Amino acid sequence: MKHWPVLFVILLGMCAVLAIVLFGNEPPNGHGVEHPDLPAIQQGGTPDRHADLMWLGGLYGVLQIAFFTLSLMPGLRPGGRGRNAFLFVGFLCIVAFLSVLISYQHYADAEPLQFILGFPPSTALMLFVLWPIPVLCVVLYTTKFNEWVLNADDRRRFEKLLTQRTEDAQE
């Protein structure tokens, strides 16, 4: 299985991103500041605070989605039927995530602020595109279970295994 070394490289990439983040200089509003007038509410300010982080954040997000997608693969039957379908879902997730980033970069410039289904465009992309896309994995799992995850032959092999184990235990 070649994808374990790939997973390892992705993990090293995520470690590197986290190290850069954790040992970098965080702006004062890097993860929010208290509201000047209202207790228990935080403000983030403007998207400028992410200007230096956009590439790093983008890389972190893409690496995560790649990691999640590859983590699905070992659950498939040996032979990897269905792998391309899950890879395609992962690809769609990455495209949706990058769309959120690109849309967010234009967020501050939009005048007047646009709203799609009640939210700014970048937020709407996150809520109504990026969030639901992995539901395709659920659909694939449900509809293709008997072919890609556990087929009738596997069940027969397991029954035989179970019988063998019971006989061994009795002996």
Partner 1 sequence: MEAYRNGIILFCVCTYMVACIAIGLWAMRRTKSTHDFFMAGRNLGVVITGVAMFSSIMSGFGFVGGPGFVYRMGLSSFWILAATPMGLSIAFMLLAKRLRLLGELRNCVSLPDVAEARYRSRTVRFLVALAILFGVVGYLAAQIKAMAVVLQDIFARNELPGGDSLEICVAISCAVLVFYCVTGGIIASVYTDLFQGLVMVIAAVLIFVTASQTVPGGFTEMSQTIAADDPEAASPWGSLGMIACLSWYFVFCLGAVGQPHVVTKLMMSRRVEDARFTLPVTLLGYTLSALLWISIGYLMRTLVLQGVHTPLEKADEAAAQFLQAYANPVLAGLVFAGLFAAIMSTADGFLNIGAAALVHDIPKALSGRTPKNELMLARVATLLLAVGASVFALLSPIGLVGQLGAFGWGVFASTLVPAVAFGLNWKRATPFAAGVSISVSILINVAVVAFQLTGHRIPYGVAGGAVALIVSLTCFVGISLASKPPVIDRDVEAVMDL
Applying the rule CB under 8 A, the residues between 55 and 94 that interact with partner 1 are: 56-57, 60-61, 64, 68, 71-72, 74-78, 93
* Closer residue to partner 1 in complex, CB, 31/171: 31
Rule CB under 8 A: which of 6-65 touch partner 1?
A: 7-8, 11-12, 14-15, 18, 21-24, 26, 30-33, 35, 38-47, 49-50, 53-54, 56-57, 60-61, 64
Minimum CB distance to partner 1, residue 37 (Å): 8
Nearer to partner 1 (CB atom), residue 88 or residue 158: 158
Size of the residue set binding partner 1 (CB under 8 A): 84
Reduced 3-state DSSP string for the chain: CCHHHHHHHHHHHHHHHHHHHHCCCCCCCCCCEECCCCCCCEECCCHHHHCCCHHHHHHHHHHHHHHHHHHHHHHCCCCCCCHHHHHHHHHHHHHHHHHHHHHHHCCCCCCCCCCECCECHHHHHHHHHHCCCCHHHHHHHHHHHHHHHCCHHHHHHHHHHHHHHHHHHHC
Among 83, 91, 98, 120, which residue sits at the site for partner 1 (rule: CB under 8 A)? 120
Nearer to partner 1, 88 or 132 (CB): 132
Residue 125 within binding range of partner 1, rule CB under 8 A: yes
